[in-house]
Each structure stands twice: as C-alpha cells, then as structure tokens.
Amino acid sequence: MKSLLIIAILVVSTLADCSNEWKALLNGQMEESTSNGCEADWKFVRRPSGGFCMKVFTGFIGDIADAEKACKTVGATLSGLQNKDEALYIQKAILAQVTVDSGSLWTGIKRTDKCMKQKLTATCTNLTSFEWTDGATTGTGGMLFQIGQPDNKDLNQNCALFMASKTPTVIARGTYFAASYEDTGCVVEFQKENIARNMLGYVCLKKAEK
C-alpha cells in the first residue's frame, strides 16, 4: 500500500514537471526557475554568453542614466535583448504590471560612437548603429528597430525606447510597432499626443548564480 502511494506521488510529480515543460514549449517561453540561482521574481534567461536573471521594473524614469542607476541598486545592469523571445517576454511582463495598454521601457542599448550624428547609411544600419551595454547580450537578434529606424532625427537620438503594447501598433504622433525599438534622446518626456509612448519602466539583468 505504502509503495503504491509512493509510485503514485512519483507519477504525479513527473507529470507536473512534464506539463510545465510543455507549457514552456507551447508559449515559446524561457525557463522560469530558481534552481538556476535567480531570485524568485527574476526570470532565468540563457544566452550564448551564459545564464542570467532578468527583471522588468515599473516606474517613470525620464533619463536612461537614472534607469541604469536603479538597476545598479539591485546588483544589476540595464539589459539588452538577445532575441525576439526576450522582447516578447519583457513586453508581456511590463503589460502585466500596469493598467495602460502601451508604453516604453529603457533597456541596455545605445548608439555606437562611430554612428553618433549619423543617419542610416551603408555603415550605420539598423543592425550596426546601436550596441548593447550590458556586456551580456550578443549579436543582433534582439535589435528590433521599427521599419525606417533608427533614423537619428535631429542627429541627437543616441538612445532607444522599447515599445510594449497590447495592440500590434500604437498611434502616438506617428505609428509605432509593438515589441520594437525606436531611437530617441537619452532623456525623454511625453505630452498628451504621445502619452501612448509614456515611460513604464526598465529592464535589469544580472548573472545567474548557477
């Protein structure tokens, strides 16, 4: 009787693991596991450069330097995006924490020195004008600029905002696509006409302990 019970428990727990794996696969989601050494509310992300913990924080921060400082206070740095899965994850994570339907996030991306004061050119393209600042993101899989961007309007757009939205596009003095970047100044403010792009938060990243 006792051994039957043990077998039943084993079967049930195996099934539970299995269904979690399935869920992860079906949702195209990343592992969510504290066994990797991430604190409970941080998301484990695996990248070619190693394992990391990511967290999306809410809060209006106009200056990207202040967002970087906020990440520092939790032992992290502003996170780049390794790929589209991470872009979709941060979009989902911020929208779950706010009551509005859209808005912007600071992430760890900035214009390269070489492409300062440059428009889109053969050498400063949508994949080469910007670089990741976290020392942990590689490649250009997460460099998801909107069509025609980064255009470096007024030649002073040295940072980029990530747009999170419940709808595929957002109208805010122009059309903006969800889960993509738009270059902008490094200190931003929003008026009524572009409040749909208002700052909602920032994304921090630190090395996973295991």
Q: Which residues contact 46 (CB under 8 A, 6 or more apart)?
A: 30, 31, 52
Please choose, from the candidates 131, 133, 138, the residue with its C-alpha nearest in 3D space to the C-alpha of residue 72: 133
Which residue lies nearest ligand NAG, judged by its C-beta?
Answer: 126
CB nearer ligand NAG, residue 115 or residue 144: 144
CB nearer ligand NAG, residue 25 or residue 168: 168
Q: Which tokens hold the place of 31?
A: 């592992």
CB nearer ligand NAG, residue 77 or residue 157: 157
Q: Which tokens hold the place of 158?
A: 């040295």
Q: Residue 143 CA to chain centroid, in angstroms? A: 11
CB nearer ligand NAG, residue 79 or residue 126: 126
**DSSP 8-state code for residue 192:** G
Q: By the criterion CB under 6 A, which residues form the site for ligand NAG? A: 126, 143-145
Cβ-contact 176, 163 below 8 angstroms: yes
Cβ-contact 183, 120 below 8 angstroms: no
CB nearer ligand NAG, residue 144 or residue 160: 144
Residue 110: in which H helix or E strand, if any? strand 102-111
Please choose, from the candidates 156, 147, 154, the residue with its C-alpha nearest in 3D space to the C-alpha of residue 182: 147
Reduced to 3 states (helix: H, G, I; strand: E, B; else coil), residue 86 is helix
